Amino acid sequence: MSSTIILDDVKNFIGTIYDDSFDTQLCITINGYLHELNQINAGKTLDLMSAPESTWDDFFDLQVGNRSEAIKFVCYRTKLDFDPPLPATINAMTSAANEAYWRARLEFDNT
């Protein structure tokens, strides 16, 4: 199974795939959300600042389960923090991010 680079996926989601000028800020933001997922036992500790080419397989390591909600959570939350949408869609996007987090928690929190 091929895994994609976390930073590239998030950049593609927020529409900055060809712009590297904000990579440092994006890595800092993404790190926070990866850490939040790690706190609910989704994925392992990962630092995109030191390893910006990290893939989702690197993050999830050997965990099995549906990763899509966790990935969606990182993408939505990063978009909301880094490049907020128009006010009319902020509530919908926040709600989608919260639901994705809740579903990821159900998928990975085995404690």
- Mean per-residue pLDDT pooled into runs of 10, the chain (111 residues): 85 92 95 95 94 96 89 96 88 94 88 51
Q: Is residue 52 part of a domain?
A: yes
Q: What's residue 3's pLDDT?
A: 85
Alpha-carbon torsion angle 24, 81, 37, 12, nearest 10: -60
pTM over 0.75: yes
* Domain assignment of residue 40, given as a range: 6-108
Q: Is residue 1 part of a domain?
A: no
The phi, psi pair for 55, rounded to 5°, reads -105, 170
Distances (CA, A) of 93 to 36, 59, 69, 88: 18, 24, 14, 10
CB of 79 closer than 8 Å to CB of 13: yes
Q: Which residues face 55 on adjacent strands?
A: 5
17-26 per-position pLDDT tens digit: 899 999 999 9
- Can you tell me the distance from the alpha carbon of 87 to that of 109, in angstroms, rounded to the nearest whole number? 33
Across the chain, what does the average pLDDT equal?
A: 92
Q: In total, how many domains does the chain have?
A: 1
Q: Is residue 11 part of a domain?
A: yes
Structural domain contains residue 94: yes
The CA distance from 41 to 63, in Å, is 10
